[in-house]
Amino acid sequence: MSACILILCTLIILMTSKGACAGEDYSREVAAEIRNFLFTDDWNFDFDEEKGIFKFGVNVSSKLKHVNYFVPVHRDSYTVYAISPIGADSDDKNAIREMAVFLSRANYGLRIGNFELDCNDGEIRFKVFTSCDGIALSREIVKASIVIPAMMFERYSPGILSVIFAGESAEEAIKKCEDD
């Protein structure tokens, strides 16, 4: 009986130790594909080996100028978050509401990814989730998941900035971005 308890305690310790959980629960293969893309395309990036998270920034052709990327790798997927350096005023509920409506209108019809708004602090980000379960992750998939958020900020930043700084309605602001 005591041998069984000892084995059980050892297994519990091993499974809850830093090596088995907490940050090591990500796909090394997925991380390698992302790293390979970023490295071969000459991106400056940081990678946290322990947590499986990439961090880097991208210059965009808009008045935002730059977005920050946060890319956590999971067991069979990864998520790309592109975060705007400018957010909605979290103390102004009308501004938060207009931004939520604007981003909802921007999201309508998007095939890959979506904008998100943190109503507590006003953070605006674009998210692309990529499932790698049962597929071979290709360079093209990684590239699209990283490039699309920057493209969305380039397209929609005039509206985002109009809502934030000019107090424009979501309806008017979206027209600036989608009337081609």
What is the set of domains in the chain, with CATH numbers?
Answer: 26-178 (3.30.1460.10)
Bridge partner list, 54? 47, 71
Mean pLDDT of the chain, nearest integer: 87
* Percent of residues, the chain, with pLDDT higher than 70: 86
Q: How far apart are the first and last CA of the chain?
A: 75
pLDDT band, very low/low/confident/very high, at 161 (cuts 50, 70, 90): very high
> Six-digit token pair at 26?
């990500």
Q: Mapping DSSP to helix (H, G, I), strand (E, B) and coil, where does residue 87 land? A: coil
User: Given pLDDT bands bounded at 50, 70 and 90, which one contains residue 12?
Assistant: very low
> Under a CB-based contact definition with an 8 Å cutoff, are residues 49 and 96 in contact?
no
Pair 45, 56: CB distance under 8 Å: yes
pLDDT tens, 84-136? 999 999 999 999 999 999 999 999 999 999 999 999 999 999 999 999 998 88
| Whether 126 contacts 153, CB under 8 Å | yes
User: What is the per-residue pLDDT for 165?
Assistant: 95
